[in-house]
Amino acid sequence: MIPVSKPYIGEAEKQAVMEVLDSGMLAAGPRTAKFEERFAQVCGVKHAIATSSGTTALHLALLAHGLGAGDEVITTPFTFIASANSILFTGAKPVFVDIDPETFNIDPRQVEKAITPRTKAIMPVHLYGYVCDMDALQAIADRHGLSIVEDACQAVGAAYHGQQAGSFGTGCFSLYATKNVMSGEGGMITTNNEAINEKCRMLRNHGMKRRYYHDMLGFNFRMTDLCAAIGLVQLDRLEEFTARRRANAAYFNAHIESVITPKVKAGYDHVWHQYTIRVDGKRDRDAALKQLSEAGIGTGIFYPVPAHQQEYMREIVGEVSLPVAEQLAQEVISLPVHPQLSQDDLETIVREVNKL
Ligand SMILES: *Cc1c(COP(=O)(O)O)cnc(C)c1O
The span from the CA of 321 to the CA of 319, in Å, is: 7
CA–centroid distance, 82 to ligand 1, in Å, is 6
Q: What average pLDDT score do residues 216-243 get?
A: 97
pLDDT of residue 68: 98
Ligand 1 atom nearest 53 alpha carbon: 7
Domain 11-98+105-236 has CATH 3.40.640.10: yes
- Cα separation of 36 and 191, whole Å? 11
pLDDT of residue 227: 98
pLDDT score for 57 = 98
Reported confidence tier of residue 289, pLDDT bands at 50, 70, 90: very high
Check residue 27 and give its pLDDT.
93
Model confidence at 96, pLDDT cuts 50, 70, 90, reads: very high
Secondary structure E strands in the chain: 47-51, 72-75, 93-96, 119-123, 147-151, 159-160, 163-164, 170-174, 187-191, 268-269, 275-278, 332-335
**What stretch of H or E contains 85?**
helix 82-89
Cβ contact 316:248 at 8 Å: no
CA of 53 to the centre of ligand 1 (A): 8
Proportion of the chain above pLDDT 90, given as a percent? 99
Averaged pLDDT score across all residues of the chain: 97
What pLDDT score does 176 carry?
98
- Counting from 1 in the atom list of ligand 1, the atom nearest the Cα of 186 is 7
Kindly list the domain boundaries of the chain, sorted by start residue: 11-98+105-236, 238-353
Q: For residue 104, what pLDDT band results from cuts at 50, 70 and 90? A: very high
For the stretch 27-84, pLDDT in tens is: 999 999 999 999 999 999 999 999 999 999 999 999 999 999 999 999 999 999 999 9
> What is residue 1's predicted lDDT score, i.e. its pLDDT?
95
Residues tagged active-site: 179
> Which of 173, 120, 172 has the alpha carbon at shortest distance from 147?
120
CATH of the domain spanning 238-353, picked from 3.30.930.10, 1.10.150.120, 3.90.1150.10, 1.10.490.20: 3.90.1150.10
Which atom of ligand 1 lies at the shortest distance from residue 57's CA? 9
pLDDT for 66: 98
Residue 79 alpha carbon to ligand 1 centre in Å: 9
pLDDT at res. 47: 98
The 8 Å CB, 24+ separation contacts for 181-184 are 181/156, 181/157, 181/231, 181/234, 181/235, 181/238, 181/241, 182/7, 182/230, 182/231, 182/234, 183/223, 183/227, 183/228, 183/230, 183/231, 183/234, 184/226, 184/227, 184/230
Q: Tell me the average pLDDT across 332-354.
A: 98
Pocket test for ligand 1, best of 52, 55, 87 (most atoms within 8 A of CB): 55
* Binding-site residues, ligand 1, Cβ < 6 A: 53-55, 79-80, 82-83, 125, 151, 153-154, 174, 176, 187
Residue 235 phi, psi dihedral angles, 5° rounding? -60, -35
Compute φ and ψ for 104, nearest 5 degrees.
Answer: 70, 5
What pLDDT is stored for residue 208 in this prediction?
95
pLDDT of residue 327: 98
**179 CA: nearest ligand 1 atom:** 1
Q: How confident is the model at residue 171 (pLDDT cuts 50, 70, 90)?
A: very high
Q: Nearest C-alpha to atom 7 of ligand 1 is from which residue?
A: 54
Mean pLDDT over 89-113 rounds to 98
